[in-house]
Structure 1
Amino acid sequence: MTSATVESLVPRHATEVDLTAWCEVFGDGQREASGDSPSVTALAGRLLAEEAPAVPRWVARGDDARPVVGVAELRPQSRDPRVGFLRLFVAPSARRAGVGSALLTRIAEDARRAGLERIQATAPAGEPGEAFAHTWRGARELLRLERQEQSLDETVLRRCRDLAACPDPARYRPVYWHGPVPEPLVLAFGQAMGHVLDAPGAALQMASRQGWDREAVRAWEAQLAAGGEHVMVHAALWRDTGQVVAATVITVAGDDARDAAQHDTVVLPQHRRRGLARWTKARHTLLLHERFPCVRTVGTTVNQRNLPMIAVNRTVGYHTVHERLLVELPLADGARR
Structure 2
Amino acid sequence: MEFFLPRQARGTDLAVWCALCSQGQSEVSGDPPRAAALAEQLRAEEDHPVVRRWAARDSDDGRIVGTAQLRPQPHDQRIGFLRLFVAPSARRRGVGTTLLAQITKYAHSAGMERIQSTVPAGSPGEAFVRTWPGVRELLRLELQEQRLDEHVLSHCHELAICPDPTEYSLAHWHGAAPEPLAPSFGQVMSHVPDAPGAALQMASRAWDAAAVRTWEARMTASGAHLMVCAAVHRATDQVVAATVATVAASDAPAAQQHDTVVLPRHRRRGLARWIKAEQTLRLHQRFPSLRTVSSTVNRQNAPMTAVNRAVGYRGSGERLLVELPMPAET
TM-score tier, shorter chain, comes to over 0.9
1:249 is matched with 244
- The count of residues paired between Structure 1 and Structure 2 equals 329
1:97 Cα shift?
A: 2.6
Q: C-alpha distance in 1, partners of 2:123/2:279?
A: 36
1:76 is matched with 72
Q: Does residue 1:220 correspond to 2:215, yes or no?
A: yes
Which amino acid counterpart does residue 190 of structure 2 have in structure 1?
A: G
Which amino acid counterpart does residue 275 of structure 2 have in structure 1?
A: T
Q: C-alpha distance in 2, partners of 1:146/1:256?
A: 26
2:309 is matched with 314
Structural mapping, 1:138-157, within 5 Å:
138-157=134-153
For residues 222-276 of structure 1, give each alpha carbon's deviation from its aligned partner in whole angstroms, at most 9, with x where no partner exists. 1111111100000000000011111111111111110110001000110111111
1:127 Cα shift?
A: 4.0
Q: Find 2:168's aligned residue among 172, 194, 204.
A: 172
1:3 is matched with none
Which amino acid counterpart does residue 163 of structure 1 have in structure 2?
A: L
1:39 is matched with 34
Which amino acid counterpart does residue 129 of structure 2 have in structure 1?
A: A
Q: Does residue 1:50 correspond to 2:42, yes or no?
A: no
Q: C-alpha distance in 1, partners of 2:33/2:236?
A: 38
Could you tell me whether the CA contact under 8 Å between 1:70 and 1:89 is conserved in 2? Answer: yes
Q: C-alpha distance in 1, partners of 2:277/2:230?
A: 11
Q: Which moved more, 1:76-85 or 1:262-271?
A: 76-85
1:130 Cα shift?
A: 2.3
Identify unmatched segments of 5+ residues in structure 2. none
Q: Which moved more, 1:85-94 or 1:158-167?
A: 85-94
1:154 Cα shift?
A: 0.7
For residues 177-229 of structure 1, give each alpha carbon's deviation from its aligned partner in whole angstroms, at most 9, with x where no partner exists. 001111111111111000011000111112432x2122211111111111111
Q: Which moved more, 1:304-313 or 1:213-222?
A: 213-222
1:229 is matched with 224
Which amino acid counterpart does residue 127 of structure 2 have in structure 1?
A: A
1:166 Cα shift?
A: 0.6
Which amino acid counterpart does residue 251 of structure 1 have in structure 2?
A: T
Q: Does residue 1:183 correspond to 2:179, yes or no?
A: yes
Q: Find 1:278's aligned residue among 265, 273, 279.
A: 273
1:303 is matched with 298
Could you tell me whether the CA contact under 8 Å between 2:141 and 2:296 is conserved in 1? Answer: yes
Q: Does residue 1:194 correspond to 2:190, yes or no?
A: yes
Could you tell me whether the CA contact under 8 Å between 1:35 and 1:259 is conserved in 2? Answer: no
1:115 is matched with 111
Identity of aligned residues (%): 62
Q: What secondary structure, in the 3-state scheme, does the structure 2 residue paired with 1:141 have?
A: strand
Q: What secondary structure, in the 3-state scheme, does the structure 1 residue paired with 2:176 have?
A: coil
Q: Which moved more, 1:44-53 or 1:97-106?
A: 44-53
TM-score (norm 1): 0.94
Q: Which moved more, 1:21-30 or 1:231-240?
A: 21-30
Q: What secondary structure, in the 3-state scheme, does the structure 2 residue paired with 1:37 have?
A: coil
Q: C-alpha distance in 2, partners of 1:330/1:199?
A: 24
Which amino acid counterpart does residue 195 of structure 2 have in structure 1?
A: A
Q: Does residue 1:160 correspond to 2:156, yes or no?
A: yes
Q: Which moved more, 1:39-48 or 1:83-92?
A: 39-48
1:298 Cα shift?
A: 0.5
Q: C-alpha distance in 2, partners of 1:127/1:258?
A: 25
Q: C-alpha distance in 2, partners of 1:334/1:263?
A: 38
Could you tell me whether the CA contact under 8 Å between 1:138 and 1:334 is conserved in 2? Answer: no
For residues 75-108 of structure 1, give each alpha carbon's deviation from its aligned partner in whole angstroms, at most 9, with x where no partner exists. 1012211110111112222223322212111111
Which amino acid counterpart does residue 245 of structure 2 have in structure 1?
A: I
Could you tell me whether the CA contact under 8 Å between 2:153 and 2:280 is conserved in 1? Answer: yes
Which amino acid counterpart does residue 104 of structure 1 have in structure 2?
A: L
Q: RMSD of aligned C-alpha atoms?
A: 1.5
For residues 43-84 of structure 1, give each alpha carbon's deviation from its aligned partner in whole angstroms, at most 9, with x where no partner exists. 123223334425100111123446211111111012211110
Which amino acid counterpart does residue 4 of structure 2 have in structure 1?
A: L
1:333 Cα shift?
A: 4.6
1:334 Cα shift?
A: 8.3
Q: C-alpha distance in 2, partners of 1:85/1:54?
A: 12
2:81 is matched with 85
Identify unmatched segments of 5+ residues in structure 1. 1-5
